[in-house]
């Protein structure tokens, strides 16, 4: 008995040590074609990862002691893809519905961070598809939906996964499908104006109160809690231009109204567009507003050329607009966030240069949400989020061979690979019996 | 009524179809024949709508219009065996058993969905009743001859399929109305009850016809019932069955059910769990008709697994990729490329899933799905290999007629970006 206990203890210690090693893997990727996206063409085919960061890109990097070496000969090393407008982490428990879209017309205080489930099946499925970082939103169906966060798809606790909290407030300029006010586009604009006015007023009071508190040299806790409003607290950083206001739009009217509000309230705007963006492209380019283009696959209107939406990203690029593609992965509709390369590939087929498409899936979303100093390209000092592909992500047939997130080598498994293993065996055994 | 009209329509189509057939030759492209390998710098000749020559050294007969497709790829027109395009209505969601519904009666040849689908290289679709009812309507297989009379769209002489649906959709539609079926047990009961009645109906009519043929007098014909007429056709195998279901236990259930009633089950649509019972499906000879990597968009679709196609391929399950949507229907070639990502299934087999296999799942493999002499001149031209996902469709030809031409029908053709 005692002997066994000792062995188990030893095993336990060994596992602990092994895991401790994993926490800061030293990984050397050798002989790969490195596609850095930004910072110029990589001189050399080796990439060294230390302490969770990209520490060196070069030729014939000597293997550090204890480093895991990955031979990437004939393979391509890309930065991890960054997918926006997802529900990864909050898709809910299997067969129990999802945890997005709280009830209410204005729920700016909703924070997906509060619902992150590190066991969400969508996390593994998404990351072994080469997506290492996601922008997860609280919902999309209300007029004011809530906060959104950036997650790296590695970690056993929400606090391990979170890269940045409250990166944007999600507004929906076309949320007319409510059975109460506001149910029209003008209604939504008016509703938003009143909320934004209220938030400005609240911010003003808050700063006055803050001054008073400072004068008194008292602690923050001395403020009257009864005057604290969670919804307004969430909107203050938006009206003061500290947190971007991301407007979901689905039509020309929605875009126009969103642009008007952005200008009127001097918001740090982001436009997520499903249709009709080209008419406003010049105005958006001039105002330097980033775009999340969601309409690549949308069917054209009867009077439009069949490939108008397929071609739109190419126009956004031409106009110099900072854009990314919508993953379509939020809500109950789709958990296929790993398919974010499809709208990009379609756009490449219809005129978008391939390097621009790759930027749109990596550095552009990082720039839009202010994390470009950390991810989105393979550059020294950035977080080591990289994926080794058999070919370009623009090719649907390309396979993701290895994924590293925050310097950790990710197991290439998901509940889907486990289902495969399970049923390969079951089907095989049943066939043998016959 | 529906049946009679349909037969007349088929007869009309047979008589008139050759009138619109066209002559065309495509020269200089890489031809992916599907059945007979790849031909570099090949030529394909279509006369009166049918392929009359495919090869490297083909002499184009005089008077046939020639299109130079040098550097481009030619494949058979893509076939989508589960679609709801070109219809004015999809679901007669008022009763869980509606076999009296014939989808050709909702066919809209001017539907914009035909225009956009053509631009994805698709030439043939099976456009179907929805999934609200356990027994829906009779589907219709059509050529995408945009804005022509429906006689030109409907493919003559082919056995059509009765749409059935199990699982969440009928449960939800009728359960929410406080009606049966609201459970999977209810779905099973509704289907069984309908076919038991149909068996009795058929027996009555068979007896009547037999006695009539024997010259017996004073006979009263049994009362006609349009629902039963269609189900009788299914029992007589004049219609086959395409069943919508996601889950493994339902896949096995419908296979057994169709055996019990002597129905020809030809395709299981969506079939998310197909890989779990790949051997059962292979033995039943029924087609997997689904997507490549969709999962989790509803509860019963949770276990979608793209790697599962390998299990099905190895088990000998017949497979087709289909769209179920006008959006996906425009890029089935991209879906086929994804098969190569998740499995080791060969390229040509992946292409078969959107061509020859799809034709077979619609019992049209003698007419379409590969580029061979005698088959219909249905062709999709791509600027790169169709499994290269930076490609786009350049031209779609149906029976020798150009129905989509990128050079004329694209943003670029209209002078680039607006």
What is d(CA A285, CA A269) in angstroms, rounded to the nearest whole number?
12
Q: Is A177 helix (H, G, I), strand (E, B) or coil?
A: coil
Q: Is A197 helix (H, G, I), strand (E, B) or coil?
A: helix
Stretch B39-53: mean pLDDT, rounded? 97
At how many degrees (to 10) do helices B184-213 and B248-261 cross?
Answer: 20
Using an 8 Å CB-CB cutoff, list chain B residues near A396: 334-335, 337-338, 340-341, 389
Beta-carbon neighbour count of residue A63 at 10 Å?
13
Give B4 to chain A, closest Cα distance, Å. Answer: 35
Q: What is the pLDDT of residues A317-360, one digit of tens each?
A: 999 999 999 987 654 446 899 999 999 999 999 999 999 999 99
Chain B residue nearest residue A300, CA to CA: B116
Distance, C-alpha B371 to centroid of its chain: 18
Q: Report pLDDT for A16.
A: 43
B387 touches chain A (CB under 8 A): yes
Nearest to B75 by CA among B141, B40, B42, B30: B30
B307 touches chain A (CB under 8 A): yes
Contact B312, B274 (CB under 8 A): yes
Q: Establish whether the linkage from the previous residue to B259 is cis, with ω within 30° of 0.
A: no
Q: A residues 342-361 near B, CB within 8 Å? A: 342, 345-346, 348-351, 354
Residue B9 has pLDDT above 80, yes or no: no
The CA distances from residue A63 to A20, A29, A69, A173, B72, in Å, are 20, 10, 8, 54, 47
CA atoms within 13 A on the CB side of B288: 33
| pTM, full prediction | 0.92
Contact A335 B296 (CB under 8 A): yes
Token representation of residue A361 = 């899936």
Contact B337 A306 (CB under 8 A): no
Residue B193 has pLDDT above 60, yes or no: yes
Contact A394 B413 (CB under 8 A): no
Stretch A364-379: mean pLDDT, rounded? 97
- Gap between the terminal Cα atoms of chain A: 45
B310 touches chain A (CB under 8 A): yes
**Exposure of A216 by Cβ count < 10 A (0-12 exposed, 13-18 middle, 19+ buried)?**
exposed
B293 touches chain A (CB under 8 A): yes
Q: Report pLDDT for B20.
A: 47
Question: How wide is the angle at C-alpha A285 spanned by C-alphas A281 and A291, nearest 5°?
Answer: 70
- Gap between the terminal Cα atoms of chain B: 50
Nearest to B73 by CA among B121, B125, B119: B121
Give B204 to chain A, closest Cα distance, Å. Answer: 40
Give A399 to chain B, closest Cα distance, Å. Answer: 5
Mutation choice for A interface testing from B305, B391, B411 by most A CBs within 10 A = B411
What is d(CA A256, CA A249) in angstroms, rounded to the nearest whole number?
9
Contact A398 B414 (CB under 8 A): no
> Given the structure tokens 């929400």, which residue do they identify?
A158
Residue B262 has pLDDT above 60, yes or no: yes
Q: What is the mean pLDDT of chain B?
A: 94
Contact A349 B391 (CB under 8 A): yes
**Exposure of A5 by Cβ count < 10 A (0-12 exposed, 13-18 middle, 19+ buried)?**
exposed
Contacts of residue A393, defined as CB under 8 A and 6 or more positions apart, other chains included, come to: A78, A81, A130, A341, A344, A345, A358, A361
> Given pLDDT bands bounded at 50, 70 and 90, which one contains residue B5?
low
**Exposure of A32 by Cβ count < 10 A (0-12 exposed, 13-18 middle, 19+ buried)?**
buried
Beta-carbon neighbour count of residue B18 at 10 Å?
11
Q: Report pLDDT for A363.
A: 98
Q: What is the pLDDT of residues A180-215, one digit of tens each?
A: 899 999 999 999 999 999 999 999 998 888 766 555
Using an 8 Å CB-CB cutoff, list chain A residues near B351: none
CA atoms within 13 A on the CB side of A81: 30
Q: Report pLDDT for B319.
A: 98
Nearest to B355 by CA among B336, B340, B382, B338: B336
Q: Report pLDDT for B6.
A: 64
Residue A10 has pLDDT above 60, yes or no: no
Q: What is the pLDDT of residues B293-351, one digit of tens each?
A: 999 888 899 999 999 999 999 999 999 999 999 999 999 999 999 999 999 999 999 99
> Given the structure tokens 């009555």, which residue do they identify?
B204
Nearest to A289 by CA among A314, A270, A272, A305: A270
Contact B338 A345 (CB under 8 A): no
Edge to edge, the sheet with strand A408-409 lists A33-34, A76-79, A386-389, A400-405, A408-409
A150 touches chain B (CB under 8 A): no
Chain B residue nearest residue A303, CA to CA: B112
Nearest to B258 by CA among B225, B231, B219, B230: B231
Candidate from A125, A306, A314 with C-beta closest to B409: A306
* DSSP codes of every residue in B266-324: EEEEE-TTGGGGHHHHHHHTPEEEE-SS---SSGGGTT--TTHHHHHHHHT-EEEE--S
Contact B334 A345 (CB under 8 A): yes
B325 touches chain A (CB under 8 A): no
DSSP code of A336? -
């Amino acid at each position: 008995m005692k002997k066994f206990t000792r062995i188990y203890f030893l095993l336990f210690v060994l596992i602990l040590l092994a895991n401790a090693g994993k926490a800061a893997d030293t990984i050397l990727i050798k002989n790969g074609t490195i596609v850095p996206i930004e910072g110029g063409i990589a001189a050399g085919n080796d990439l060294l990862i230390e302490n969770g960061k990209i520490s060196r890109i070069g030729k014939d990097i000597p293997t550090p002691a204890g480093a895991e070496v990955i031979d990437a000969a004939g393979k391509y090393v890309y930065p991890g893809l960054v997918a926006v407008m997802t529900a990864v982490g909050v898709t809910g428990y299997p067969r129990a519905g999802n945890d997005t879209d709280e009830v209410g017309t204005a729920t700016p205080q909703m924070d997906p961070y509060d619902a992150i489930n590190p066991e969400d099946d969508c996390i593994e499925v998404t990351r072994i598809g080469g997506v290492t970082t996601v922008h997860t939103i609280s919902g999309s169906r209300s007029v004011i939906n809530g906060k959104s966060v950036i997650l790296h798809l590695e970690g056993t606790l929400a606090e391990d996964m979170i890269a940045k909290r409250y990166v944007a407030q999600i507004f929906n300029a076309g949320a007319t499908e409510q059975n109460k006010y506001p149910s029209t586009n003008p209604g939504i604009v008016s509703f938003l104006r009143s909320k934004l006015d209220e938030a400005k007023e609240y911010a003003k009071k808050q700063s006055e109160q803050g001054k008073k508190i400072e004068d008194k040299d008292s602690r923050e806790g001395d403020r009257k809690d009864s005057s604290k409003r969670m919804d307004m607290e969430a909107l203050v950083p938006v009206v003061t231009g500290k947190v971007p206001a991301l407007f979901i739009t689905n039509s020309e009217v929605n875009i126009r109204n969103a642009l008007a509000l952005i200008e009127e309230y001097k918001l740090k705007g982001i436009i997520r567009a499903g249709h009709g963006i080209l008419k406003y492209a010049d105005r958006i380019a001039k105002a330097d507003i980033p775009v999340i283009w969601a309409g690549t696959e949308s069917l054209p209107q009867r009077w439009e050329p069949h490939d108008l939406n397929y071609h739109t990203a190419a126009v956004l690029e031409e106009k110099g607009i900072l854009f990314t593609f919508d993953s379509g992965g939020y809500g109950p509709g789709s958990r296929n966030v790993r398919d974010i390369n499809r709208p990009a590939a379609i756009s490449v087929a219809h005129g978008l240069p391939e390097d621009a498409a790759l930027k749109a899936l990596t550095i552009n979303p990082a720039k839009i949400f202010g994390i470009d100093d950390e991810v989105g390209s393979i550059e020294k000092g950035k977080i080591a989020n990289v994926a080794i592909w058999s070919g370009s992500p623009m090719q649907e047939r390309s396979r993701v061979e290895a994924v590293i997130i925050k310097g950790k080598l990710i197991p290439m498994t998901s509940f889907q690979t486990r289902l495969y293993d399970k049923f390969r065996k079951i089907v095989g055994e049943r066939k043998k019996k016959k | 009524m529906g049946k009679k009209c349909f037969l007349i329509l088929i007869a009309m189509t047979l008589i008139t179809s050759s009138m619109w057939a066209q002559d065309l030759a495509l020269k200089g492209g890489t031809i992916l024949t599907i059945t007979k390998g790849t031909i570099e710098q090949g030529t394909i000749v279509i006369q009166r709508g049918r392929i009359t020559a495919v090869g490297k050294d083909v002499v184009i007969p005089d008077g046939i219009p020639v299109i130079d497709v040098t550097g481009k790829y030619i494949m058979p027109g893509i076939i989508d065996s589960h679609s709801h395009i070109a219809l004015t209505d999809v679901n007669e969601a008022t009763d869980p058993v509606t076999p009296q519904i014939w989808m050709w009666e909702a066919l809209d040849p001017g539907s914009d969905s035909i225009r956009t689908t053509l631009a994805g290289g698709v030439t043939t679709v099976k456009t179907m009743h929805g999934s609200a009812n356990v027994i829906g309507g009779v589907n219709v297989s059509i050529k995408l001859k945009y804005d022509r009379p429906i006689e030109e769209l409907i493919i003559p002489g082919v056995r059509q399929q009765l749409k059935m649906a199990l699982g969440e959709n009928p449960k939800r539609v009728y359960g929410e109305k406080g009606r049966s079926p609201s459970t999977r047990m209810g779905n099973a009961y509704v289907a069984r009850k309908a076919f038991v009645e149909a068996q009795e109906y058929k027996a009555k009519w068979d007896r009547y016809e037999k006695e009539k043929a024997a010259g017996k007098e004073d006979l009263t014909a049994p009362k006609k019932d349009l629902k039963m007429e269609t189900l009788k056709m299914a029992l007589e195998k004049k219609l086959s069955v395409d069943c919508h279901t996601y889950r493994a236990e339902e896949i096995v259930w419908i296979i057994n059910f169709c055996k019990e009633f002597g129905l020809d089950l030809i395709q299981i649509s969506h079939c998310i769990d197909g890989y779990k019972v790949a051997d059962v499906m292979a033995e039943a000879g029924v087609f997997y008709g689904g997507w490549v990597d969709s999962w989790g968009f509803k509860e019963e679709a949770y276990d979608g697994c793209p790697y599962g196609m390998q299990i099905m391929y190895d088990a000998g399950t017949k497979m087709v990729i289909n769209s179920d949507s006008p959006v996906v229907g425009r890029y089935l070639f991209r879906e086929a490329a994804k098969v190569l990502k998740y499995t080791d299934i060969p390229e040509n087999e992946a292409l078969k899933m959107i061509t020859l296999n799809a034709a077979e799942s619609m019992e049209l493999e003698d007419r379409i799905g590969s580029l061979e002499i005698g088959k219909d001149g249905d062709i999709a031209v791509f600027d790169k290999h169709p499994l290269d996902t930076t490609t786009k469709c350049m031209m779609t030809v149906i029976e020798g007629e150009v129905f989509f031409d990128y050079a004329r029908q694209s943003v670029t053709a209209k002078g680039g970006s607006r």
